[in-house]
Structure 1
Amino acid sequence: MKIYYGMAQWQHPAWVNWLYPSSLPAAERIARYSQVFSTVEVGSTFYTKVDQAQLLRWYSVVSDDFRFAFKAPQTVTHRLFDRPWRDIVEDWRVFMVSLQPLQSKLGPTMLQFPAACDERLLERIMLLCDLWDLSAPLSVETRHLAYFDKTGHESLLLKGLAEKGVNRVIMDSRPVFSTQAYCDSLVDAQKKKPRVPCHPVATSSHPVVRFIGHPDLALNDKWLDQWAAKLSQWLAAELTPTVFVHSSDNIAAPTLAATLDQKVQRLCGDYQPSLQLPQSQEQASLW
């Protein structure tokens, strides 16, 4: 019974003297992060080709049970309309080759498609899934509303992913859109985060959740309760969920993750907590 919890980043200015001491060099923070969290979204691979030596350095400093969730390059996921298919496939293959030495510490690699990627591209999404040849799990995130109709194209997407053993990424942005944007971080989040229906359907053994929390922590409780119940169901079904917790400014994301894990523990008597945050800045500085 394991839940992998992580953030969308492994360092944040507000986490200094909490998750890691200020004296710790920035290059060493991922190792400290991996002592608290069990996974992380790596978005840098979406924007650019990360040097292989850098990937291996990250791999070498985290614990053996840590899992990286790398995002596929945007040249693969965001250029399906305007690039030759052979070029997309080549970039996908090159990316997979770069991940091969890291397989023992790979979580669900993410194919994250933009809102412009509509039902006309479903076949290409499925073909990219077919090309996946690593032993680690693969996940797919779609943002076009055609994939949230509960019938039609969503049914085709879910059926295709389930047949291929690919996990659907479940986006839950309800909290961050639950109030008007009364601060800068909410304004920014509501501009950038997708507002799509939350359909918590697992299509394979490693379901992926991306939870976008509200900066007013108490407002998240009802959704965290729902997720604690769903995660408990998945654990009972012997699935291994990965949960990436964001907040509008990501400062409180670790706290939200710990709160969710505590709620799961209360529902599952045999569940051993997956996440324990430092209790204070003083304790963190003693690590």
Structure 2
Amino acid sequence: MQLHVGCAMWTHKPWQGRFLPHPLPQGERLRAYATWCNAVEGNTTFYATPARSAVESWARQTSPDFRLVPKLPRSITHERRLAGADEELRSFLDAIEPLGPRARTLWIQLPGSFAPADLGALAVFLRGLPGAYRYAVEVRHRAFFDDARSAGLLERVLAGAGAEWIPFDTTELFRSPPDSDAEREAWAKKPRLPRRSRALTDRPIVRYIGRDDTARTVEGWRHWVGAVTEWLREGRSPTVFVHTPDNAEALALARRFHDDVRAGLPEVEPLPEPMPAEPLTLF
């Protein structure tokens, strides 16, 4: 029984020397991160298709059961809105091929303007994707959360492709006014949407963002500890990504979430022992 947890990135300045060794060469940073967490969001691929050599390095630094969930480039999802992007898609799929089983699921993050009226484009796009991967879709248009008919239509489109719906839970972030510059920036950028926690497949994925205050972040994820525990008992294999506005403690928080689930479900496989942030000495 395995629960995957991770963060939005595998390198972050506030982690250096605290959680992860510093300095580390580029080709060792993901390896160090992977001793803390067994998954990571593939945000870097959203902004540009990576060089195949970079992806080969990611594969060398992680075990086959590590989960890296690459996002389709925004040129496909946001600029072309899933239409006429065959060349970009081919380039992306070729680049990530070295990840092998680490990239079992590909992430399709759609813009907030992608509305129920656009579901036809999503259905056509999903039907044309290769069967070698599974797919998970993140939507941000309010109608998918407020209108039962729109939500049902989206679920039917996803079910037709065996795809998952990724919720981005920002309810704790917006529970009370921001207390820091990072929280104020998150308030301006993150979607304010109702929480949704219905899994469509055996591999649900959750994005959760808390606050820069650790206690509030932990309090806000209690719902997800219960939901993830139930999914595991049902035989599902969930992945949870933990964010905070400044992400300073996100690496330790992701492990803490795993610990909270495992406290009630000891059968869950433990995470690896973290790499020491400082070199071991004899004295």
Q: What is the TM-score of this pair, normalised by structure 1?
A: 0.91
Aligned partner letter, 1:224: W
Partner of 2:62: 62
Secondary structure of 1:178 counterpart: coil
Partner of 1:28: 28
Partners in 2 of 1:94 and 1:23 — Cα distance?
Answer: 33
Partner of 1:226: 223
Q: Give matches, 1:267-286, under 5 Å.
A: 267-274=264-271, 283-286=276-279
Partner of 1:193: 190
Partner of 1:251: 248
Query: Which of 151-160 and 263-272 deviates more?
Result: 263-272
Partner of 2:126: 129
Aligned partner letter, 1:265: R
1:175 lines up with 2:175 in the alignment = no
CA contact (8 A) 2:168 2:207 kept: yes
Query: Which of 149-158 and 232-241 deviates more?
Result: 149-158
1:263 lines up with 2:256 in the alignment = no
Aligned partner letter, 1:186: E
1:7–1:235 CA distance, 2 compared to 1 (3 A): same
1:53–1:277 CA distance, 2 compared to 1 (3 A): closer
Aligned partner letter, 1:221: V
CA contact (8 A) 1:208 1:242 kept: yes
Secondary structure of 1:105 counterpart: helix
Secondary structure of 1:251 counterpart: coil
Aligned-residue offset at 1:181: 1.6
Aligned-residue offset at 1:201: 1.1
2:97 pairs with 63, 87, 100, which one?
A: 100
Aligned-residue offset at 1:123: 1.1
Q: Percent identity?
A: 29
Gaps of 5+ in 1: none
Aligned-residue offset at 1:185: 0.5
Aligned-residue offset at 1:7: 0.8
Aligned partner letter, 1:174: T
Gaps of 5+ in 2: none
Partner of 2:39: 39
Could you list the per-position Cα deviations for residues 253-282 of structure 1 after superposition, in whole angstroms to 9, with x for gaps in the alignment?
Answer: 12321221122112214223336656xxxx
CA contact (8 A) 1:141 1:168 kept: yes
1:11 lines up with 2:11 in the alignment = yes
1:276–1:179 CA distance, 2 compared to 1 (3 A): farther
Secondary structure of 1:222 counterpart: helix
Could you list the per-position Cα deviations for residues 70-90 of structure 1 after superposition, in whole angstroms to 9, with x for gaps in the alignment?
Answer: 110111111246x8x3x2233
Partners in 2 of 1:221 and 1:36 — Cα distance?
Answer: 18
1:95–1:25 CA distance, 2 compared to 1 (3 A): closer
RMSD: 1.9
1:72–1:137 CA distance, 2 compared to 1 (3 A): same
CA contact (8 A) 2:49 2:95 kept: no
Partners in 1 of 2:273 and 2:158 — Cα distance?
Answer: 33
Partners in 2 of 1:99 and 1:271 — Cα distance?
Answer: 29
Q: What is the TM-score of this pair, normalised by structure 2?
A: 0.92
CA contact (8 A) 2:64 2:100 kept: no
1:274–1:131 CA distance, 2 compared to 1 (3 A): farther
Aligned partner letter, 1:154: A
